[in-house]
Each structure stands twice: as C-alpha cells, then as structure tokens.
Amino acid sequence: MRPSEILELSGDSRRVAFQHLLAEIEAYTSRVTETSVVPPLDVKAIRTVLSNYDFTKPVTPAEAIDVVTKQLWKYQVHTPHPMYFGLFNPRPATMGIVADTLVAAFNPQLAAWSHSPFAVEVEQYLIHEFGKLFGYDAAVADGTFTNGGAEANHTALLTALNWKFPEFSQRGVRGCSRQPRLYGTSQSHHSIAKAARLCGLGNISVMEIALDSFHRMNVNILRSQIRQDRENGFEPFFINATGGSTNAGIVDPIARIADVAQQEQLWLHVDAAWGGGAMLVPELRETLEGVEQADSITFDAHKWLSAPMAGGMFLTRHPHILSETFRITTDYMPKEGAELEKIDPYQHSMQWSRRFIGLKVFMSLLVAGWDGYASVIRHQTAMGNLLRQELVKYDWEIVNDTPLPTICFVDSSRTDGKTASFIDGIAQRVIASGKAWISSTRLGNDLPVLRACITNYLTEEKHIFDLVELLNTVRVKI
Ligand SMILES: Cc1ncc(COP(=O)(O)O)c(C=O)c1O
C-alpha cells in the first residue's frame, strides 16, 4: 500500500467510509429516541472491549466506524434524547454536525489570519454580531471564540487583571500592588474559582458573597465586602455576575451589580454561558437586564444554541484588551499580510493552533436564522413552564425563581420530601429506570433539590407528562 493510502485510503474505500459514516449519523439522529437515556456504568466491560484492539491487525474503515458507534450507542448518557433533562448539554443542530465535519476535512488553522482568512473573518463577524445582540456598541464589540465557558471565564479573569494591574503581563501577580480579590457567589460556576488558581491568584482571592432570599448575589453585602476588603489590604478588581446559574438558572441582579462595579472601578463579568440564549428572544431579554454594561460576557453556543460541543464565546466592550493581554512576537509565525488591518487570533486569545469553532454557529444561523433560534428557545421555555405546572399539580414544590427552563423542586407532600436521602434517591431511581435523566443538587444554604432542565429542542409536552409520571411513580417507592 502506498503511504498516501494508509491514512487517506483509496478513493473507493473513502467513499464507502463516508457513506457508512453518514448512515450511522442518520441512524443515531433518527433513532436515539428509542434507546435508554442512560448507559450501564461498567468499567470492566468497556476495558475488555478496548483490550481487543492492540493496533497490530488493522481493520477496515467500516469496521472501525462500527466499533465506535456500537460502543457510543451503548456507553453514553444520550444527551440528544428528549428525555435528557440535564446539564445544559443540547441535542446538536444538524447544521452544527455538518459544520464540524467540514472543519475536520478542510482543517483550517486559525492561529494566523493569513492561513485561514475566511474562517477568521467568519469568527470575528459572529463575535461582533453576538456582541451587538448583548447590547454592545458595534464600534467597540470585540471577543474571541473559546473551547467553552470555562476558557471564556478564564479569559475574563486574565483580561481584567491586565486592565486593573497594568504591570500584570510583565511582572505577574508581583505586579499587583496588593492581593487581588474577586467576587462571586456559591452559585457562580466553579470555573471562576479554577481560573483564579490558573491565574496564580489562589483561592484566597475568591470571595463568596452571600445570597438573597432568591439565591441571587446580595448586592448590599457585595458593596460592604468590597469596602471591608480595601480596609484589610486587598485590591478588589473583578465581579462575576451569573446570567443563569448552573444549579438553578438564577440570574444575579446584573444592573445593580453594574452600578457597584462602576462606582468601585471593578471589572464586571457576566457569565451567561447558558442563560445568554434569552437574548435571542425579545420577551426574555429583560431577564439579563444590564448585561450591556458588563465589561465582558461568557456565552456558550454548545448550550442553548444547540451547537455540538464545544463552542464558547468571550465577548467584551474593551476592543484592545485581548491584544494587550495576549500579544506576543515570534519569528516563526506566517508573515504574509502583515500590512493588512486584521487580527491574528494567536495574538488575541489564549489558544495557539485553533480549530474553526465558529463555523457550527455560522452554518446553523445561516439555515435557522435568528427567528428560527428564537422560536426554538421560546418552545423550550414553554416546556419549562409546562413542567412547573405539572409538578405543582402533583404536589411537587418549585423552589427556584427564574423564567428560564431550569426547574428545581422538592416534594412538599411528605415530611421527608426535602431531605438529601429522598431527593438523591428520586434522582437515582429516575436514572436507573433508563427512561430519563435528571439530577439532584444543593441550592442556597445546602437545600437538597431535584433539578430538571429543558436542554433539548425535541422535548415536547408528551415528554414532560412522561417525566412527571415517572417522578410520581418512583416517589411512592421510597
Ligand atoms: C454558568 C456556566 N458557566 C460556565 C460553564 C462552563 O462551561 P464549559 O463547560 O463550556 O466550559 C458552565 C457549564 O455548564 C455554566 O453552566
């Protein structure tokens, strides 16, 4: 076999492989609704399957595809299933799958603009459009695609450090006059705390602000904590407001927090990784009131925009801050087009080699349009409202307050209905049934709750009724 055929395969084998791949993707897309939502968690069985392959006896491309699809069917939580009421993981939009396939085939390298000018321009165009959607002035809207919300949050902390401490790039944390301090709540996504460590700030820099009775950041406590920290020798620099918490879809009072940030000269970041989807629906936009005042925003297309994983965005209204944070000079990067007015992503973000992340958003938007997306998000929100209604009908009590479709609930019909053993027991039994996936979590001051989120655009009324029936069935078995 010629070297080229080893990896590229012959023309005939390629055609067979691609056709087989398409058939498998179509089978999964159209038939995943028929399977159990939840896999068996059998480590031994999976390792036994893998031990059959020591890479000394090559298999055909079709066999390779079969090996993988068979095991993926069997061993994954089927997040594309309409009974998956989970952690913001969507059923991927078909055009997102098409886009990721094209990206793999064309393999554009987005580190330097001149290597992939179309791809880089697509991403920057989208970043501007999404910046405007969140209320930024088109003249200043900037940002970058990321590998997800965690990278976008990390980018936010780094840019804020460079903004507040001009010597940060040069001298690192030693360039900070005093110990920097940032603010969030117990409901902030934990990637913020992780980013604080990654930035070399340590856990000591993270201050959790207490919640109000709606599980949102208590703005009065935030204000007094900032003053107290200054008196105690800290340098406050960053507030993370959550625009749709992971636990409960709760939105911090962004506009009031923005006032504090402005008065105290702190960087305001809004983590709207999932909840940012509300900006696409006119009647939901007020949920994130004040978001346009944020210095930066995290938004994940692989959550409410149903992009395949992963497609995060970091958006900012400081057009120079990414370059100030990430600019670096090298001899080996391409020099073509140096005289053009353009952005080289490797100078403008944390990544170097860069996949064309934005294409799945671009192609899905081309086909669905803003209006198409708005009706999908509206539908999911309506399914969330229906779930609330049905739960209340059967004496489940809703304990979170959000217009977004994340529902936290307990059982108010029995005395142990708010205990950890009951709540966790319900989630375990639902999952064990294989018919649906929900989770349990802790809200506010450690209140055990069940959590169901409408993450799937295929979830219809029937699925809501089925979930409530399942919950009602398992509750009497505990
Ligand atoms: C509010 C919020 N921020 C950030 C993240 C992290 O995003 P990712 O998993 O894309 O890194 C999540 C993940 O669910 C999230 O819910």
Instruction: Give the C-alpha separation, 86 to 439, whole Å.
Output: 7
Name the DSSP letter for residue 91: P
What number of other Cβ atoms are within 10 A of residue 314's Cβ? Answer: 27
The closest-lying atom of ligand 1 relative to the alpha carbon of residue 150 is 11
Query: Does the C-beta of 358 come closer than 6 Å to ligand 1?
Result: no
**Centre of ligand 1 from the C-alpha of residue 15, in Å:** 38
Sign of the Cα pseudo-torsion (466, 469, 475, 476, in order): negative
Residues 6+ apart with CB under 8 A from 22: none
d(CA 396, CA 14): 54
Q: How far apart are CA 467 and CA 136, in angstroms?
A: 40
Write the residue with the smallest CA distance to atom 14 of ligand 1: 246
CB-CB contact of 154 with 350 (8 Å): yes
Q: Exposed (0-12), middle (13-18) or buried (19+): which is 230, by Cβ within 10 Å?
A: middle
What's the pLDDT at 1? 82
Domain layout of the chain by residue ranges: 3-78, 102-365
- Which of 242, 239, 234, 238 has the alpha carbon at shortest distance from 216? 242
Q: What is the pLDDT of residue 406?
A: 98
Ligand 1 midpoint to CA 343 (Å) = 27
Residue pair 225/184 in contact by the 8 Å Cβ criterion? no
pLDDT for the residue numbered 52: 95
Lookup: tokens for 412: 């108010």
DSSP codes of every residue in 428-471 = HHHHHHTS-B-EEEEETTTEEEEEEE---TT--HHHHHHHHHHH
What is the spatial order of strands in the sheet that 406-411 belongs to? 396-398, 406-411, 447-453, 439-443
Tell me the C-alpha distance between 232 and 226, whole Å: 10
- Alpha-carbon distance of 437 to 81, in angstroms, equals 9
Q: Spell out the residues 6+ positions from residue 371 whose beta carbon is closer than 8 angstroms to its own.
A: none
Q: Please tell me the pTM assigned to this model.
A: 0.97
CA of residue 189 to ligand 1 center, whole Å: 6
Q: Kindly list the strands in the beta sheet with 296-300, ordered across the sheet, starting from the edge strand earlier in the chain.
A: 142-146, 312-316, 296-300, 267-271, 234-242, 179-184, 206-208
410 lines ligand 1 (CB under 6 A): no
* Distance in angstroms (rounded) separating the CA atoms of residues 62 and 108: 26
The DSSP code sequence of 232-255 is TTEEEEEEEEEBS-TTT--B--HH
Each residue's pLDDT, cut to its tens digit, for the chain (478 residues) gives 888 889 999 999 999 999 999 999 999 999 999 999 999 999 999 999 999 999 999 999 999 999 999 999 999 999 999 999 999 999 999 999 999 999 999 999 999 999 999 999 999 999 999 999 999 999 999 999 999 999 999 999 999 999 999 999 999 999 898 999 999 999 999 999 999 999 999 999 999 999 999 999 999 999 999 999 999 999 999 999 999 999 999 999 999 999 999 999 999 999 999 999 999 999 999 999 999 999 999 999 999 999 999 999 999 999 999 999 999 989 989 888 888 899 999 999 999 999 999 999 999 999 999 999 999 999 999 999 999 999 999 999 999 999 999 999 999 999 999 999 999 999 999 999 999 999 999 998 789 999 999 999 999 999 999 999 999 999 999 8
Q: What pLDDT score was predicted for residue 279?
A: 98
Q: What is the CATH number of domain 102-365?
A: 3.40.640.10
CA distances from 454 to 108, 189, 238, 310, 430 (A): 34, 19, 31, 19, 16
Residue 89 dihedral angles phi and psi, to the nearest 5°: -85, 125
457 lines ligand 1 (CB under 6 A): no
Q: Where are the beta strands (DSSP E) in 218-310?
A: 234-242, 267-271, 296-300
Strand locations in 317-428 (E): 396-398, 406-411
CA 423, CA 416: separation in Å to the nearest integer? 9
Stated as kind and residue range, the H or E segment containing 181 is strand 179-184
Kindly state if the Cβ of 185 falls inside 6 Å of ligand 1.
Answer: no
Distance CA 290, CA 313 (A): 19
Would you tell me how many other CB atoms lie within 10 Å of the CB of residue 330?
9
Candidate of 274, 291, 357 to mutate for ligand 1, largest count of ligand atoms within 8 Å of Cβ: 274
Distance of alpha carbon 231 from the chain centroid:
36
How much is the pLDDT for 4? 82
The verdict on the CB of residue 88 being under 6 Å from ligand 1 is yes
Q: 175 by DSSP, 3-state: which? A: helix
Our CA angle for 118, 124, 128, nearest 5°, is 140
